[in-house]
């Protein structure tokens, strides 16, 4: 049986070996350590504090209160604060409402908690100008996660489980068994906080931890955790290669329309292998969300079905206020507008500049004679008209139901809605397109086409120039 010194030496050596093998820490690193108050995170901060001079690093603590466990959660926060004070480590503590955030963004409590935790860790990272975030997943967590995902049903990504490092996040305890962590806490009299729900089998992970794994160890394979971890590591190599190829494909296929909106050209996307199509869709959604691993298997299947049907105008809603829609030959991902665009109508002043608040832009109107020799502008945001054909005041507004106008070059009027469809203007953009009107008559669909009725002819004497100033 190992004594206290041997146990400590093993766990210290294992942490240092993991750090070295996976190049998790370099001299000069400033590391924010996520501390829940449980045995794993308490051991992590205590161990890193012991070896900080050897590694040449600075440490900071960060604790997020999820406001789910009431007074117990407050006691967790106080314990973390006291621990960091004893170790002379600066600690940051924040309180959030995880359940409210999850409900607002159509997320499970687990997903919401993960997002808010890492947003908080990033805040602390920037505040102290640190470059790493250390979290306390251990070897048991790795094996349990693989088994849990396998039972639930998952792909290669799910079976690769927990990585040693992902961007700024490092996991120095990933090769350490939970039993070693518990012994370490006892040996150092750390008395970590224990979430009592972890001691029962009311949750899926707890049942796997407390019932299924012990059963498998006793009846099938005493080293089942090691086997699960080995499987995850083998799959990770294949997964990393496929993801590398997928990222190259994604950069070639995705088109960034504007801020918070991107698209794929459907005829090209649908030619890709089904595995790659799914990766493209997942990658697009998560890029706009700014968060990884959020789209569920079913949500990806819904996206694939949307892509297959190619029904223009069809939309599906995703977490984090995201939507995907078919628009002709494009599959478009975008952040949903929280509010519908309100109707607006504003009178424009002749020979002056008028600011239109709804558009956050201005229009300049000026009149000159044909003899002045001004050339017809080729700018799509500046057009010239026969001034004498205007009968009423000039307004700018957005569309209304039943709008019709006479596009230049056509033989008569057509519905504005049909004109937008012909121009393949997305439905979400149509309310934002300004319409210049002579009373009720549409003179110019700004950025697209003027009315044939107001075009300049050989008989034109005076020209009205209208220009959108952005």
Least confident of 284-288, 336-340, 394-398: 336-340
Res 4: pLDDT = 58
SS3 call for 165 = strand
What tens digit of pLDDT does each residue of 65-119 get?
887 777 888 888 899 999 999 999 999 999 888 888 888 887 778 788 888 998 9
Residue 25: pLDDT over 90: yes
Which spans in 128-223 are helix H?
A: 139-152, 156-159, 178-187, 204-207, 213-219
Relative to beta strand 30-34, strand 132-134 is parallel
Report percent pLDDT > 90 for the chain: 49
Structural domains of the chain, with CATH: 4-232 (3.40.50.620), 254-335 (3.30.465.60), 345-469 (3.50.40.10)
Residue 38 corresponds to which tokens in the numbers above? Answer: 């449980």
Rg, Å, the chain Cα set: 31
Res 202: pLDDT = 46
Mean pLDDT of the 213-228 span: 91
Query: What does the mean pLDDT of the chain come to?
Result: 87
Q: How confident is the model at residue 185 (pLDDT cuts 50, 70, 90)?
A: very high
Q: How confident is the model at residue 28 (pLDDT cuts 50, 70, 90)?
A: very high
How far apart are the C-alpha atoms of 20 and 333, rounded to whole Å?
41
pTM: 0.61
Mean pLDDT of the 367-384 span: 78
Asked if residue 62 lies in contact with residue 121, where contact means CB atoms within 8 angstroms, the answer is yes
Instruction: Give burial (CB, 10 Å; 0-12/13-18/19+) of 238.
Output: exposed
Q: How confident is the model at residue 199 (pLDDT cuts 50, 70, 90)?
A: very low
Residue 401 neighbours by CB distance under 10 Å: 6
How far apart are the C-alpha atoms of 112 and 97, rounded to whole Å?
9
Helix (H) or strand (E) holding 369: strand 361-369
Which spans in 56-197 are helix H?
A: 71-86, 98-104, 109-127, 139-152, 156-159, 178-187
Q: What are phi and psi of 219, to 5 degrees?
A: -110, -20
How far apart are the C-alpha atoms of 427 and 431, rounded to whole Å?
8
- Residues written for the chain: 470
Residue 249: pLDDT over 50: yes
Res 7: pLDDT = 54
Q: Which of 184, 170, 178, 165 is nearest to 139 (CA)?
A: 178
Residue 227 neighbours by CB distance under 10 Å: 15
Mean pLDDT of the 204-208 span: 81
End-to-end, the C-alpha distance of the chain in Å comes to 77
Q: What are phi and psi of 283, to 5 degrees?
A: -65, -40
SS3 call for 45 = helix
């Amino acid at each position: 049986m190992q004594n206290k010194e041997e146990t400590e030496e093993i766990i210290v050596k294992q942490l240092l070996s993991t750090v070295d093998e996976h190049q998790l820490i370099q001299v000069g690193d400033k590391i924010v350590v996520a501390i829940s108050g449980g045995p794993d995170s308490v051991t992590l901060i205590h161990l890193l504090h012991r070896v900080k001079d050897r590694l040449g690093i600075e440490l900071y603590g960060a604790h997020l209160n999820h406001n789910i466990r009431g007074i117990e959660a407050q006691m967790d926060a106080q314990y973390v604060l006291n621990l960091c004070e004893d170790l002379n480590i600066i600690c940051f503590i924040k309180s959030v409402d995880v359940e409210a955030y999850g409900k607002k963004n159509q997320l499970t409590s687990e997903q919401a908690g993960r997002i808010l935790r890492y947003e908080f860790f990033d805040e602390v990272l920037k505040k102290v100008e640190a470059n790493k975030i250390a979290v306390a997943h251990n070897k048991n967590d790795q094996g349990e996660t693989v088994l849990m995902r396998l039972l639930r049903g998952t792909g290669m990504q799910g079976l690769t489980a927990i990585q040693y490092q992902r961007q700024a996040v490092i996991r120095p305890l990933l090769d350490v068994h939970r039993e070693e962590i518990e012994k370490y806490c006892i040996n150092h009299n750390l008395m970590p906080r224990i979430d009592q729900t972890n001691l029962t089998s009311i949750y899926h992970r707890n049942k796997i931890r407390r019932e299924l794994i012990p059963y498998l160890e006793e009846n099938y394979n005493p080293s089942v955790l090691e086997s699960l971890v080995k499987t995850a590591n083998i799959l990770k190599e294949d997964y990393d290669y496929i993801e590398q190829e997928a990222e190259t494909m994604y950069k070639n296929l995705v088109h960034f329309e504007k801020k918070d909106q991107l698209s794929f050209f459907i005829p090209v996307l649908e030619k890709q292998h089904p595995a790659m199509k799914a990766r493209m869709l997942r990658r697009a959604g998560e890029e706009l969300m700014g968060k990884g691993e959020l789209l569920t298997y079913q949500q990806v299947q819904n996206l694939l079905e949307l892509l297959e049907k190619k029904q223009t105008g069809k939309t599906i809603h995703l977490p984090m206020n995201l939507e995907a829609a078919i628009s002709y030959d494009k599959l478009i991902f975008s952040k949903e507008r929280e509010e519908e665009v309100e109707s607006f109508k504003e009178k424009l002043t002749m020979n002056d500049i008028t600011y239109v608040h709804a558009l956050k832009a201005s229009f300049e109107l000026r009149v000159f004679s044909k003899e002045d020799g001004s050339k017809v502008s080729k700018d799509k945001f500046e057009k010239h008209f026969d001034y004498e054909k205007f009968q009423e005041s000039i307004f700018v507004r957005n569309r209304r139901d039943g709008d019709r106008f006479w596009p230049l070059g056509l033989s008569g009027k057509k519905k504005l809605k049909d004109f937008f469809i012909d121009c393949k203007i997305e439905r979400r953009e149509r309310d934002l397109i300004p319409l210049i009107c002579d009373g009720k008559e549409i003179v110019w669909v700004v950025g697209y086409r003027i009315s044939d009725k107001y075009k300049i002819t050989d008989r034109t004497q005076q020209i009205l120039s209208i220009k959108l100033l952005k």
